[in-house]
Amino acid sequence: MANADDGMVVGVDVGGTKIAVGAVRSAKAQDRVERPTQVSSTEALLDGLEATVNEVIRTAGTPAAIGVGVPSQIEYSTGTVETSVNIPLTGVPLRTELGRRFGVPVFVDNDANCAALAEAQLVPCDNLVMLTLGTGVGGGVINSGRIFRGAHGLGAELGHFSVNADGPPCPGNCPNHGCLEAYCSGQAIERDATELAEDKPGSRLARALGEDGKVSGRELVSAAEEGDPDALLIFDRLARMLGVGIAGYVNVFQPELLVIGGGLSRASHLYFQRAVQEAASRALPALWRRAQVSLARGGADAGVIGAGVLAAQEVQEASRSTPAGARRDTGQAMTTEPEGVE
Ligand SMILES: [Zn+2]
């Protein structure tokens, strides 16, 4: 059995449909367990999460700390969930609640931040920007090896940067127009495909209209792979706007590496090269020369690894700022109450 002294942490990746948990050591996940996310109530979700983590702890031992990534906006210092779209966590003081249940320090962050941290560890590199193209567009920024969060942990919303003041309304919970999310997300391309299908009865996309009156992302990808010009046009626009975004983020953050991840990255053969060309023609040359753009390495364990690495970094930081005599007992040296971490 492992114990709290050997640097093992537990990483938890909470998704809308499943919770993945693993023991994380040296940016590798072991003893991985995956269970459906209980979304009927906050209590049910937390009980399910607790049971899944305990399964891993029974095999791997007691961790020094637990890191949790959630698809939510998080106020990092308190670990309180600000908003959460698909799971019942809005307003929940998650860090305190889970700290009480597990009796070890818990750290809670946005899942896109955790994914970016995992990427930075896997490469490895210290300055990285990650864009996650899924239903929406998420992002994470790693600056000198650490997650950049802004004042309260709510920053780095890279999908909600507008690249066109008069663009389409943002499909996210966002009042802006022309956000990257309005062009480069699953929701955005399904919207575009559906509009085109309605405008062109008899076209390939019109034939792909589903019973819900929409063209799904999957259908759109198939049409583009068959060479349908309407579908290709949609991916062309996505690529162009993504390139504008990449150039902007390279200019602002000067990452060594910018990676594209998320579900839509599986269709990257339809837009990635074109996006990089667009970015190359727009980014400041001195920064572009020093930056690389690639697909995320990710993999199924990235969320678990990122959450674990976050916890490990926090434990390390606390042990550095704690007197040597107190270091052995990480449970006391760090409390789960933010005001106790002094
Ligand atoms: Zn937006």
Between CA 22 and CA 24 the distance in angstroms is 6
Rounded to the nearest whole angstrom, what is the distance from the C-alpha of residue 132 to the centroid of ligand 1? 14
Rounded to the nearest whole angstrom, what is the distance from the C-alpha of residue 133 to the centroid of ligand 1? 13
Q: How confident is the model at residue 326 (pLDDT cuts 50, 70, 90)?
A: low
Over residues 202-222, the pLDDT tens digits come to 999 999 999 999 999 999 999
CA 266 to chain centre: 16
Rounded to the nearest whole angstrom, what is the distance from the C-alpha of residue 119 to the centroid of ligand 1? 24
Question: Contacts by 31-36 with C-beta closer than 8 Å and gap 24+?
Answer: 31/56, 31/59, 31/60, 32/56, 32/301, 32/304
> Which of 57-71, 99-113, 265-279, 326-340 has the least mean pLDDT?
326-340
Rounded to the nearest whole angstrom, what is the distance from the C-alpha of residue 26 to the centroid of ligand 1? 36
Q: φ and ψ at 97, to 5 degrees?
A: -60, -45
Q: Among candidates 59, 62, 21, 60, which has minimal Cα distance to 330?
A: 62
Rounded to the nearest whole angstrom, what is the distance from the C-alpha of residue 178 to the centroid of ligand 1? 7
Over residues 139-165, the pLDDT tens digits come to 999 999 999 999 999 999 999 999 999
Between CA 152 and CA 331 the distance in angstroms is 25
- pTM of this prediction? 0.89
The predicted structure's pLDDT at residue 201: 95
DSSP per-residue codes, 190-237:
HHHHHHHHHHSTTSHHHHT--TTSS--HHHHHHHHHTT-HHHHHHHHH
**In this structure, how many other beta carbons lie within 10 angstroms of the beta carbon of residue 289?**
8
Rounded to the nearest whole angstrom, what is the distance from the C-alpha of residue 157 to the centroid of ligand 1? 9
Supply the DSSP symbol for 164: -
Q: How confident is the model at residue 297 (pLDDT cuts 50, 70, 90)?
A: very high
The predicted structure's pLDDT at residue 340: 40
Question: Do residues 89 and 63 touch, judged by C-beta distance below 8 A?
Answer: no
Neighbours of ion ligand 1 (CB under 5 A): 160, 170, 172, 174, 176, 179
**What angle (nearest 5°) sits at the alpha carbon of residue 157, between those of residues 298 and 16?**
55
The predicted structure's pLDDT at residue 333: 42
